[in-house]
Structure 1
């Protein structure tokens, strides 16, 4: 990561540069591809009050540039507040990336459904429901008896979706 730390209207000491550099390097823990960072520290005096401005610009690969501005009376506090806000933004970006990656893994697992079983993943076979016309419970029971299915989903005469299933004791259940 390219890091640039500059001071406007005052001279930066080595201690300030080291402090800011270490804080910026800590942002790499989010695993995002930070190409460059630029921290501009400037002194600001308005109405006889001294203060400091800190502006941090982070260039991320394949993303927009993140710019964060912060003011404070103390220079170190301005740096800390700026980097704290940058940390929140990068954490959110990291969460987006990992969440999307996790959803992609689920999608890949779903695409494998119906193919050969994989260790740790139960085999799920999708089926089409025949919901063309309402059926009597007796009709659905006959269909289930004449097939090798464990359960049968149908719409009854009252337009309720019902499930009739084979029980282990040889009887049938109805939801």
Structure 2
């Protein structure tokens, strides 16, 4: 898994890098087929002070790319809400994979069912 953390108008300190990495452990714990993660942290010069800190993430999984963004007054709060949103989307995708890849036993033709010995 490749992890890229970049900042626009912001220097990514080791503390921020560690915080993002620790939060992403939750995503990797739920779904381990992640190929690439790209995190972009931005400080915008907006007049609305509560929406200055923005965090975006592009997560490439096998079969899907997920994009999530979050805006908050504090960068750490933006990262927290970003990870919550991302976790919901990853769990939704994981459940979709698990539900649709299985064929119900009652729908399998009897010629394919294993014989009880």
TM-score, length-scaled by structure 1? 0.59
- C-alpha change, 1:118 and 1:24, in structure 2 (3 Å) is same
Counterpart mapping for 1:1-175 below 5 A: 1-47=1-47, 49=49, 51-63=52-64, 65-101=65-101, 103-104=102-103, 106-107=104-105, 110-112=108-110, 117-118=115-116
Q: Is the 2:31–2:90 Cα contact (8 Å) retained in structure 1?
A: no
Check 1:27–1:114 CA distance in 2 against 1; reply closer, same or farther (3 A cut): closer
Higher relative contact order (CA 8 A, sep 6+): 2
Q: 1: CA distance between counterparts of 2:63 and 2:49? A: 41
SS class of match (1:10): coil
With over 3 angstroms needed to count, the CA separation of the structure-2 counterparts of 1:79 and 1:48, relative to structure 1, is closer
Partner-residue secondary structure (3-state), 2:78: helix
Counterparts of 1:28 and 1:113 in 2: how far apart (Å)?
40
> How much is the aligned-residue C-alpha RMSD, in angstroms?
2.4
**Preserved contact between residue 34 and residue 61 of structure 1 (Cα < 8 Å):** yes
Q: Is the 8 A contact 1:32 1:94 kept in 2?
A: no
Shift, 1:110, TM fit:
3.0
- Cα deviation digits, residues 110-139 of structure 1 (max 9, x gap): 3346967427xxxxxxxxxxxxxxxxxxxx
DSSP-derived class of the 1:59 partner: strand
Query: Greater share of helix residues, 1 or 2?
Result: 2
Q: Distance in 1 between matches of 2:23 and 2:48?
A: 30
User: Given that residues 55 and 69 in structure 1 are in contact (C-alpha distance below 8 angstroms), is that contact kept between their aligned partners in structure 2?
Assistant: yes
Q: Following the alignment from structure 2 to structure 1, what is the Cα–Cα distance between the partners of residues 36 and 82?
A: 16
